[in-house]
Chains A and B, each alone.
Chain A
């Protein structure tokens, strides 16, 4: 089945560092990818929708200058947490949806990235 690869799985870094997380669709073209954030014991919250070749659409309350999203190809989206601070520590999950017309196909999730800012 379709696979989404997300890297890295774990990041620990100092405050002020910028961190890039990659989300790749391995065997299908993902024109749309989604970035979610999950706090402990809570549900997934959509941060932004990443569209190949165009600007990402951010959810209300998500700082686009803090969370930079790039979707330069049909198989890769990146999320960069710029100048990360301890409050940015969280679990970030990407997902990808396949081609148009596959509305009943579920989104395929990456395994997530646990980000810890010291």
Chain B
């Protein structure tokens, strides 16, 4: 079974500053994928970034980047130049490469951005 842990229930960051959200996971699978999803107050699930476990290079999407440490089973999200619109719940998730498998989500981190 897969599990995902996010040890920071809440985080805050000053606008324009950088913040890192932590995520650790456990899986016995060799092929899997990792994701960060953002859920604003509208409760839409918005994909922020994804990482294939077989890739060593950390994924980057504009102001968002990850630090993927496969051996440590760690997958942290760094948000640079934080904006007010980044305020949301952030969920770390993993999914195996087996078709039909569902996402396993972490408990979430609520990020506040202070003006």
Contact = CB atoms under 8 A, between A and B. Distances in A.
A49 B31 CA distance: 21
Interface residues of A, number: 25
A51 B45 CA distance: 22
A31 to B, nearest CB: 8
Contacts of A104: 33, 50, 52, 97
30 contacts: A34-B103, A38-B43, A42-B107, A43-B91, A43-B107, A43-B108, A44-B105, A46-B102, A46-B103, A49-B102, A95-B45, A95-B103, A97-B99, A100-B99, A103-B31, A103-B33, A103-B96, A103-B97, A103-B99, A104-B33, A104-B50, A106-B35, A106-B47, A106-B95, A107-B95, A109-B44, A109-B45, A111-B43, A112-B43, A114-B43
Interface of B: 31, 33, 35, 42-45, 47, 50, 52, 91, 95-100, 102-103, 105-108, 110
